[in-house]
Amino acid sequence: MPSTKALIPLAGSERALRSGSKLIGPANPKERVEVTVRLRSRNKKQASADKIGSLQPLKRHYLSREGFAAAYGAAPADVTKIKAFAKKNKLAVVAVNPAQRHVILSGSVKALSDAFQVKLMEYEHAEGNYRGRIGRIHLPSELVPVVEGIFGLDNRRMARPHIVTAERSGASQATGASSYTALEVAQFYDFPTGLDGSGECIGILEFGGGYNPSDLTTYFSQMGIATPSVSSVSVDGVNNSPGDPQADPEVALDIEVAGTIAPGAKIVVYFAPFTEQGWVDALTTAIHDSTNKPSVISISWGYAEGEPVQGFEWTPQAVQAVNQTLQAAAAMGVSVCVASGDNGSSDGINDGLAHVDFPAASPYALGCGGTKLTAADNKIRSEVVWNQNGSGGGGGISAMNALPSWQTGIVPPSVNPGHQAGRGVPDVCGDADPSTGYQIFYDGQANVVGGTSAVAPLWAGLLARVNQKLGTPVGYFNPLLYSNVGESSAFHDIIKGNNDTTGHVGGYSAGKGWDACTGWGSPDGANLLQAFSPGNGS
C-alpha cells in the first residue's frame, strides 16, 4: 500500500466495527465496487431552512430544482479535480450529478483501498455479512476542502423497516374492531374532505423488496378507489423486486396507505441498497428528481444512531449528507416524513441506554411516532402511547443532532447519564399499534400490520391533500410547528403512556404538550389545514 505521508484523514469518515462482528478475512482485491464521492456546494450561503420553515406556506418563495442546482450544486472545477484523482488512481468515473453533488467512481477493492488508504475486510454478523473498514478515509490535501463524504467502501446494513405485523406482536389478525382501513383512520383524524392529492407527487424510499401491480389493483379495488399512478426508480442498481417476506409488507403498506389517503397523487417509489451509500443516494435522487418532482417524501425505514463509546452506527459524514439534503428539500418546498422506530426508547440497542432512530432524528425531517388508537362510531374513543409486547413508538433525544433553536425550552435533556441536550423526536404521531393496525394486501394475501411505518405515509398523504388545497407545498414546517401550530387544535394531545418497551431503559412518558413519545400528538387534519391557511401566524 502506498505511503500515507501526503494524505489527510477525511473529517467525519470514522468507522468502527459493528458490535458482534467476526472477522472472515480480507476483501477480495479484484471485486469491483462503486463509491459515491460527495462534493461541497459551490455556495456556502444556502438559504436557512429554519427561516423558511418559520413562515406560513403561502408566504414562502421556494427554489425550483433547476434553480437550486444552479445556485448550490457542485462546481465544475471540483468535479474536474475528482476526475483527475480517479485517473491517477486507476478508477473509472461512472456518473457525475452536479445537482446531487455526487461523482460515482468504480474500481477494484485493491485500487480503492490504495486510493483512499483504507483496509477493507469481510466480516460475519447476525444482521448480514458485510465489507467493512476501521478508522478514517484519507485524501490528498488538495481534495480535503472539496470532498464532504465518500460512501460505499463499507456496505453494512443500515436500514430496518419500521413495520410490525399483528401476528408478530401477538395481536389478533381479525379485521373489524381490531383493525382499520387507511380511509377509516383518515376519518378518525378528520382529514380534510373533497381532496385527493391531485397535482402532487409522493416519493417513497424503500431499501428492499417490492410490489406486485396485481396486489395494488386488488387492494384499491377492495377500497373502492381507482388505483393511483405508481412507478419506481432504481437507485444504485436496486429495482422493484417483490419476494422478500420482510420488506414486501413495508413496500405495500407505504404505497397502500399513501395511495388510499391521496389517490390522485402520483406515487414514485425509489428502491436503493440498505447501506449508508444507499441512504445518501436515494435521498438525493428523490429530492433532486426534476422529472417526477415529489412534493412529499415518506420514509418508513431507519437505523439507530448507536452509542458514542462504542462508535456511532451512522458516520458523521452520512449524518451531514442527509441533513444537508433535507435542508435542500426545505428550500425546494419538499416535506419529508420519517418513521421514528418500533422499539421504543431503546431503538433496538440492548445496552440499557435510550437511543433514537435516524433519519427521523434529523432536525429537518418530520419525525412520526406511534399510538394505540381505539375508535367506535367513527370517533376516537381513546389514544395512548403505543407500547405493547416489547414493541412501541420510538422517541427520545438525539446524541448526534444538536438541540434546534425551535425546540429550546420545550424538549427536556436525555434520560441517559450526562443528560445531554439534543434534537427531540418525534414531532407528530398517529395510529401504529398493530392491534389497532391497518388492513393491507401484499403477496396475494390480506394482512393487518402496524408500526410507525404506517404513520409516515399517513402523514405524507395528509400533507398531499393540504398541498392540493393550499395550491403550494407545505414543505418543511418544524419551526412553525413548535412556535404555534403544535399547541393548536390541529393536534390531539396524547397524555397517557410511556415508550420504555424493555422496562429498564427509563424511556419517556407522555404528558401535556410535546413529549418524546408522541411529539405534539396525532393530527386533526381539517384544523391542520386551517392552521396553514392565510390569516394564521407569521
d(CA 516, CA 496): 12
d(CA 332, CA 295): 9
Q: Which of 453, 500, 522, 524 is catalytic?
A: 453
d(CA 143, CA 122): 28
Location of C-alpha cell 445537482: 99
259 and 222 Cβ atoms separated by less than 8 Å: no
Instruction: Report the Cα 371 to chain-centroid distance in Å.
Output: 19
d(CA 44, CA 24): 43
DSSP class per residue in 378-406: TEEEEEEE-EETTEE---EE-SSSPPPGG
Q: Which of 190, 200, 206, 254 is catalytic?
A: 254
Q: Which of 250, 305, 383, 524 is catalytic?
A: 250
Rounded to the nearest 10 degrees, how much is the dihedral formed by the CA atoms of 322, 324, 326, 328? -140
Which residue from 75, 94, 86 is spatially nearest to 139, judged by alpha carbons? 86
248 is catalytic: no
207 and 244 Cβ atoms separated by less than 8 Å: no
242 and 248 Cβ atoms separated by less than 8 Å: yes
C-alpha cell at 219: 387492494
Q: What single-letter DSSP state applies at residue 176?
A: G
Which residue from 10, 1, 20, 12 is spatially nearest to 349, judged by alpha carbons? 20
Residue 165 CB partners (closer than 8 Å, separation 6+): 249, 434, 447, 448, 449, 450
Beta bridge partners of 98: none
254 is catalytic: yes
250 is catalytic: yes
Which residue from 225, 82, 214 is spatially nearest to 149, judged by alpha carbons? 82
Residues classed as catalytic:
250, 254, 453
